[in-house]
């Protein structure tokens, strides 16, 4: 065989060897994939051994194109067979296990954090770290009377909820926002009771004997006697207001919470009263509300204290009752006329009287002039006479009559019209002195009547007999003396 023939034969053998190598590699890879699918979890070492059993012959040739082809074929399986054997394709069970591992395990009574996803008229759907959604029925929400869900809750709100049932008929978790909040609130209330802590509540309604406040759905009762430091006639004034309270009685098992505002009110009132008396002064103008009416006057609530406005300080005219000028609940402006810090009493006067007649008293009622008035009141020391509405003057007992009298009622009665003379006026103190005696005084009546002439002891029968002389008269006198 010639050299050329040998060379051609060697080339054919080399190509054939390369083809066998490629075919052998494909068979090995195919067998490895089949082995991986059939035998799950088998040691990867066995697959490696299968690879080693497939020998690859290295053939060299002088021809460069054959060598390049061989290199290309050998280099194509770039990834090691061992790595492909080690790869594991995830199954649905694997994903489920991974998801379950990331979610919380829940049980009845757990408190979980939720987020509102949707809202209807009857319920709220929430999501949380669990495989199912949560459902909160309307009765398990913190709602006021006749309050709609959408008025209080919004999509995206974060809520704490208590697990009532881990799965309903639809596979949802049944939750309660109200019970979760109440669980936390009961613990807080118990701690407040132990510590004697003060806190604010909003009064929701009036019931028999007191008031009701709701704390995250928990009913707290305030007896009427504990609503204030003073007697309260109408408890409705507290509805809707925030009050600072303390817990007087607490029993979680019996679901009983008794609260009181009285102690707080007493303390606050004491501080406010001290501040008030430290700053108020005679002549101050204050605003208040008429609190109570009595026959003698009206009590005005000034905020920190109550002041008395006497009936005579409400009008320039005489009043039978304060209700003629003011009424309970009326806002009034008053002037401070006296402050007694020793007894904590303050006297008031209505700041604005109606048509003050005393402003023109000196012009209308001049001194020594006589006017007509009406007796409106009698006292042991004199009589009060009204000249007009708001103007009343005193007639002292000594100015009632020229004669001595024991008391005014012996000569006067209420309703009598009398003539009075003005003795003096005092605009500043709103006083006017009058006299009935001076108005009705008659100088002629005080003059003593003349004694009647004595009848002559001589009787004359004629004019001639009446004619006499001084001597005859003296003679008659001497005769009388001698007798």
CATH H-level superfamily of 101-181: Nucleic acid-binding proteins (2.40.50.140)
Task: Yes or no: say if 280 and 339 are a contact pair by the CB < 8 Å rule.
Answer: yes
Q: What is the band of 243 on the pLDDT scale with cuts at 50, 70, 90?
A: very high
- Minimum mean pLDDT among 97-106, 141-150, 254-263, 333-342: which range? 97-106
What pLDDT, in 10s, does the model give residues 361-388? 888 899 999 999 999 999 999 999 999 8
Residues ≥6 apart with Cβ < 8 Å to 423:
367, 399, 433, 434, 435, 438
Could you give the CA distance from residue 237 to residue 266 in angstroms, rounded to a whole number?
18
Answer for the pair 308, 297: CB distance below 8 angstroms, yes or no: yes
310 has pLDDT over 80: yes
Is it the case that residue 161 has pLDDT exceeding 80? yes
What's the pLDDT score for residue 418?
A: 94
pLDDT band at 390; cut points 50, 70, 90 = confident
In contact, 286 and 343? CB cutoff 8 Å: no
Using alpha carbons, select from 263, 277, 268, 264 the residue that is nearest to residue 307: 277
Structure-model confidence comparison of residues 13 and 246, the more confident one: 246
Name the more confident of 99 and 359.
359
Work out the mean pLDDT of the chain and round it to a whole number.
78
Is the pLDDT assigned to residue 35 strictly greater than 70?
no
pLDDT attached to residue 59: 46
pLDDT above 80 (res 21): no
Higher pLDDT, 15 or 360: 360
Average pLDDT (232-237) is 90
Per-position DSSP letters for 407-423, written without gaps between them: -GGGT--TT-EEEEEEE
One fold for 198-266 and 357-445 = yes
CATH (residue range 198-266): 2.40.50.140
Q: Is the dihedral of CA 182, 188, 194, 200 positive or negative?
A: negative
Q: Of 443, 447, 386, whose CA–CA distance to 414 is shortest? A: 386
- Domain segments of the chain as ranges: 3-86, 101-181, 198-266, 280-350, 357-445
**What CATH number was assigned to the domain covering residues 280-350?**
2.40.50.140
Average pLDDT over residues 236-248: 94
Query: For 211, left (φ over 0), alpha (ψ -120 to 50), or beta?
Result: beta
Residue 73's pLDDT is what? 46
Residue 428: its pLDDT value, please? Answer: 81
Q: How confident is the model at residue 131 (pLDDT cuts 50, 70, 90)?
A: confident
Whether the per-residue pLDDT at 455 is higher than 80: the answer is no
Confidence of residue 155 (pLDDT cuts 50, 70, 90): very high
| Percent with pLDDT over 70 in the chain | 69
**Helix ranges restricted to H, 243-352:** 262-279
Strand partners, 285: 335
Pick from 325-329, 390-394, 452-456: least confident: 452-456
* pLDDT at residue 477, as a whole number: 54
At residue 316, does pLDDT exceed 50?
A: yes
Using CA atoms, how far apart are residues 355 and 443, in angstroms rounded to an integer? 40
Q: Is the pLDDT of residue 473 over 90?
A: no
Taking 50 as the threshold, does the pLDDT of residue 48 lie above it?
A: no
pLDDT of residue 384: 94
CATH architecture of 357-445: Beta Barrel (2.40)
């Amino acid at each position: 065989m010639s050299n050329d023939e040998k060379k051609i034969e060697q080339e054919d053998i080399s190509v054939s060897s390369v083809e066998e190598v490629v075919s052998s590699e494909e068979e090995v890879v195919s067998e490895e994939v089949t082995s991986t699918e059939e035998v799950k979890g088998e040691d990867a070492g066995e697959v490696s051994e299968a690879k080693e059993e497939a020998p690859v012959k290295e053939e060299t040739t002088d021809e460069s194109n054959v060598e390049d082809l061989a290199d290309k074929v050998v280099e194509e399986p770039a990834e090691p067979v061992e790595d492909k054997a080690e790869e594991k394709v995830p199954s649905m069970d694997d994903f489920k296990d991974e998801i379950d591992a990331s979610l919380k395990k829940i049980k009845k009574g757990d408190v979980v954090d939720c987020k509102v996803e949707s809202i209807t008229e009857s319920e709220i759907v929430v999501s949380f770290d669990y495989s199912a959604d949560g459902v909160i029925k309307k009765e398990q929400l913190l709602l006021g009377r006749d309050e709609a869900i959408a008025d209080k809750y919004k999509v995206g709100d974060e809520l704490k909820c208590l697990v009532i049932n881990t799965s309903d008929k639809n596979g949802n978790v049944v939750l309660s926002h109200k019970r979760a909040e109440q669980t936390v609130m009961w613990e807080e209330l118990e701690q407040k009771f132990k510590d004697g802590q003060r806190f604010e509540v909003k009064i929701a309604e009036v019931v028999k004997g007191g008031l009701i406040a709701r704390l995250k759905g928990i009913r707290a009762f305030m007896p009427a006697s504990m609503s204030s430091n003073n007697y309260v006639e109408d408890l409705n004034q507290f509805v809707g207001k925030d009050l600072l309270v303390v817990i007087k009685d607490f029993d979680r098992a019996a679901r009983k919470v008794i609260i009181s505002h009285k102690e707080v009110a007493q303390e606050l009132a004491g501080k406010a009263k001290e501040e008030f008396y430290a700053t108020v002064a005679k002549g101050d103008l204050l605003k208040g509300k008429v609190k109570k009416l009595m026959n003698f006057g009206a009590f005005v609530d000034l905020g920190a204290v109550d002041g008395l406005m006497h009936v005579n300080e409400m009008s320039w005219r005489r009043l039978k009752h304060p209700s003629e000028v003011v009424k309970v609940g009326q806002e009034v402006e008053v002037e401070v006329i006296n402050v007694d810090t020793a007894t904590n009493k303050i006297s008031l006067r209505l700041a604005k009287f109606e048509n003050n007649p005393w402003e023109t008293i000196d012009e209308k009622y001049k001194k020594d002039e006589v006017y007509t008035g009406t007796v409106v009141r009698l006292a042991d020391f004199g009589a009060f006479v009204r000249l007009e509405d708001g103007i009343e003057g005193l007639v002292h007992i000594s100015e009632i009559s020229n004669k001595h009298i024991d008391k005014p009622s012996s000569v006067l009665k209420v309703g009598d019209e009398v003539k009075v003379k003005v003795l003096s006026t005092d605009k500043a103190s709103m006083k006017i002195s009058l006299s009935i005696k001076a108005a009705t005084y008659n100088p002629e009546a005080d003059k003593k009547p003349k004694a009647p002439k004595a009848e002559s002891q001589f009787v004359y029968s004629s004019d001639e007999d009446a004619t006499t002389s001084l001597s005859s008269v003296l003679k008659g006198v001497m005769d009388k003396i001698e007798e």
